[in-house]
Amino acid sequence: MLETRGIATVAIASVLPQVEKTRPPRALMVPFMLGRPFGEPNDMAFQQRVLRQALGLIESDAGPVILAYFPDDNPSWSDRASWRASAALPAPVVPDSPASWEAALRDELAAVRPAWVRFTQRFQRTTVGLSGLEPADWPAFGAAFLAGELPVLPLHGTPALSLRFVVDDLKALYGEAAQADGDPPSARQIDRWFWGETLAGRFLRALRITALESSDNGVKTVGGRFFVPTPYLGGDGS
């Protein structure tokens, strides 16, 4: 509709089969992780390169369907050899009951939150807050699901959405805490740390298993699709 009214469009695409099926007038395929179509955060020069190539497709008359490929991986994708997690955490021990999960996660969150606060002060932003629930209340909320309950947050109205956004907030807080000090780590380093070295990563795996066994189809759906990325469904975070 936009194109027929004379407004040129360009898609920044991360999944080739979707582009091949939908056939947008112009698309630039990028080799970056999902959710980062212009590359890593805070790398303005690289992001401008992606944007300029995408906008350059508007000048081409080779269509009606133009598919181009961005040639380079983001240099920020490389691991930082000097990076260490901002919060020093003990090796996680997997709890054996909802109550012990709640207590252990509360202790770990208390250790991670100072680094997250430093992140928010340094960058003056945060993506935490989708759930509307305070971080101190996340462990009890998640443990209730492990115990077979289906609590609901007023902001979201269903157990599925309530749990999904608490999980999103938890991952966001840890991801931001990991970037609190010094040069940022690569996205892979954050993922390996979260899923391999934190109790929170194990907590989300346990929540996923519980969600998949839930009688609530919404909880079952969000648990299977949104809690744990496929590469980290195993226990070692590798």
Residues 106 and 73 in one domain: no
Is residue 90 in some structural domain?
no
Is residue 238 in some structural domain?
no
Residues 150 and 72 in one domain: no
Is residue 82 in some structural domain?
no
- Residue partners of 191: CB distance under 8 A and separation at least 6: 229, 231, 232, 237
Residues 142 and 207 in one domain: yes
Q: Which residue has the higher pLDDT, 1 or 149?
A: 149
Would you state the structure tokens that stand for residue 35, as one six-digit string?
């959710």
Residues 187 and 104 in one domain: yes
CA 220 to chain centre: 19
Amino acid at 67: L
Residues 123 and 219 in one domain: yes
Residues 37 and 133 in one domain: no
Residue 230 has pLDDT above 70, yes or no: yes
Task: Report residue 122's pLDDT band, with 50, 70 and 90 as the boundaries.
Answer: very high
Residues 193 and 102 in one domain: yes
Task: Report residue 208's pLDDT band, with 50, 70 and 90 as the boundaries.
Answer: very high
Is residue 49 in some structural domain?
yes
Select from 47, 77, 107 the last residue of a domain.
77
Residues 114 and 211 in one domain: yes
Is residue 141 in some structural domain?
yes
Would you state the structure tokens that stand for residue 146, as one six-digit string?
């492990």
Q: Which domain holds residue 21?
A: 3-77
- Residue partners of 115: CB distance under 8 A and separation at least 6: 86, 87, 177, 178, 180, 181
Is the whole-model pTM more than 0.75?
yes
Residue from 3, 123, 129 nearest 63 by CA: 3
Residues 171 and 73 in one domain: no
- The mean pLDDT of the chain is 91
Q: Count CB neighbours of 208 within 10 A.
A: 19
Number of domains in the chain: 2
Residues 223 and 115 in one domain: yes
pLDDT tens for 49-80 read 999 999 999 988 777 788 999 998 876 677 88
pLDDT tens for 142-186 read 999 999 999 999 999 999 999 999 999 999 999 999 999 988 888
Residues 109 and 29 in one domain: no
Task: Report residue 93's pLDDT band, with 50, 70 and 90 as the boundaries.
Answer: confident
Q: What integer pLDDT is reported at residue 190 of this predicted model?
A: 92
Q: What integer pLDDT is reported at residue 165 of this predicted model?
A: 98
CA distances from 81 to 85, 86, 115, 186, 218 (A): 12, 14, 20, 10, 41
Rounded CA-CA distance 162/214 in Å is 15
Amino acid at 215: S
Is residue 150 in some structural domain?
yes
Rounded CA-CA distance 125/90 in Å is 28
Whether the Cβ atoms of residue 36 and residue 61 lie closer than 8 Å to each other: no
Is residue 145 in some structural domain?
yes
- Residue partners of 91: CB distance under 8 A and separation at least 6: 197
Residue 84 has pLDDT above 90, yes or no: no
Task: Report residue 238's pLDDT band, with 50, 70 and 90 as the boundaries.
Answer: very low
Is residue 85 in some structural domain?
no
